[in-house]
């Protein structure tokens, strides 16, 4: 195949906020070694707004049931993807503080060890 110069995602996704553009660029990396990992996608700053308790409550008020949105259960699949020593770090970044407190997340995590 011929080597073609691209237009650049910034030109194509003109109205995209910087964190979204950053995420898309990382997901579309051709080299698999440079491509963002699935767990890193989940904790990317683009999704930070969803972790805000007020935003969560507003979505729930619109009758969109996302009540299980942050109810991640420790699983062997996830542990295989992420080194065990980083598991708690990722879960802490993935599940917002207010939700961890409501679900008593740290007690469940410590029982897992």
Q: What is the mean pLDDT of residues 51-55?
A: 84
Return the percentage of the chain with pLDDT > 70, whole number.
69
List Cβ neighbours of 40 (8 Å cut-off, separation of 6 or more). Answer: 26
Q: What's the mean per-residue pLDDT of the chain? A: 76
Torsion angle of C-alpha atoms 14, 53, 61, 72, degrees rounded to 10: 90
Does residue 78 carry a pLDDT above 80?
no
Reported confidence tier of residue 57, pLDDT bands at 50, 70, 90: confident
Decide which of 53 and 112 is more confident: 53
The answer to whether 69 touches 50, Cβ cutoff 8 Å, is: yes
Q: What sign has the CA pseudo-torsion 66, 70, 76, 79?
A: positive
Q: Which helix (H) or strand (E) covers residue 39, if one does?
A: helix 38-42
Does residue 18 carry a pLDDT above 80?
yes
Instruction: Indicate the domain borders of the chain.
Output: 14-112
């Amino acid at each position: 195949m011929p080597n073609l110069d691209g237009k650049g995602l910034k030109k194509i996704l003109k109205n995209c906020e910087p964190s979204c553009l950053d995420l898309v660029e990382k997901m579309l990396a051709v080299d698999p070694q440079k491509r963002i990992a699935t767990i890193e996608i989940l904790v990317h700053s683009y999704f930070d707004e969803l972790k805000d308790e007020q935003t969560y409550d507003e979505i729930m008020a619109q009758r969109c049931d996302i009540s299980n949105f942050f109810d991640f259960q420790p699983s062997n699949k996830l542990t295989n993807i992420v080194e065990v020593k980083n598991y708690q770090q990722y879960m802490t970044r993935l599940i917002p503080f207010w939700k961890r407190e409501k679900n008593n997340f740290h007690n469940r995590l410590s029982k897992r060890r």
